[in-house]
Amino acid sequence: MEVLEAIKSRRSIRRYKTTPVDDKTIEQVLEAARWAPSWANTQCWRFIVVRDDNMKAELASTLTPNNPAADATRNAPVVIVACAELKRSGCYRGEPTTDKGDSWFMFDVALAMQNLTLVAHALGLGTVHIGAFDAKKAADVLGVPEGFCVVEMTPLGYPDQEARTAPRKELSEIVFRDKFGG
């Protein structure tokens, strides 16, 4: 699938078929994540592939009340959890180098997960970025060690819905010329 077509046609998927996803396919989406750019090539990301039903249920229980992706987290054949090593991205010798502090790991993980979701879509798979959950609780569930945190998770599986297109702002609303607001 052509890149712009993949970008434009990907949608958040919150209902999945029970059809399993094989290891080779999962490796393909993880490979896309692996090739994302990152701060000084620090590659702070780590990915946990969750297939176990009890673990998926536990992860679903960390989502915010009424999170529309909760059932998908419980029922999709796979959930991929993206973690990050702290004090690496945007840091030099463990100290932040910009006014953003130790938050550039969010950026790097987002780039990796965007790659992952786009390649998943090109392979006919659905995903939904999930950010609204108790990341500390999820880290406990998954045994994430100190110095790392959980950033986001996504179910992964074959879509069982026609996803609705969420409209986007027009370029005229978000692009300025030479100066902010210009």
Position among 21, 76, 128, 139 found at the interface with ligand FMN (CB under 6 A): 128
Residue 111 Cα to chain centre, angstroms = 9
Q: 90 — alpha (psi -120 to 50), left (phi > 0) or beta?
A: left
Instruction: Collapse the DSSP code of 82 into the 3-class scheme (helix H, G, I; strand E, B; otherwise coil) and give the result.
Output: strand
CB of 77 to ligand FMN, least distance (A): 18
Residue 63 CA from chain centroid, whole number: 14
Is 38 within 8 Å of 89 (Cβ atoms)?
yes
Stretch that binds ligand FMN, among 34-42, 50-58, 78-86, 128-136 (CB under 6 A): 128-136
Name the minimum Å distance from CB 71 to ligand FMN.
10
Segment (H or E) for 120: helix 104-122
CB of 131 to ligand FMN, least distance (A): 3
Residues 4-23 that bind ligand FMN (CB under 6 A): 11-12
Least Å distance between CB 59 and ligand FMN?
A: 12
Helix (H) or strand (E) holding 157: strand 148-157
Q: Which is nearer to ligand FMN, 166 or 174 (CB)?
A: 166
166 binds ligand FMN (CB under 6 A): yes
Q: Is 49 helix (H, G, I), strand (E, B) or coil?
A: strand
Considering only residues 68-127, where is the footprint of ligand FMN by CB under 6 A?
68-69
Interface with ligand FMN by CB under 6 A: which residues? Answer: 11-12, 67-69, 128-132, 163, 166
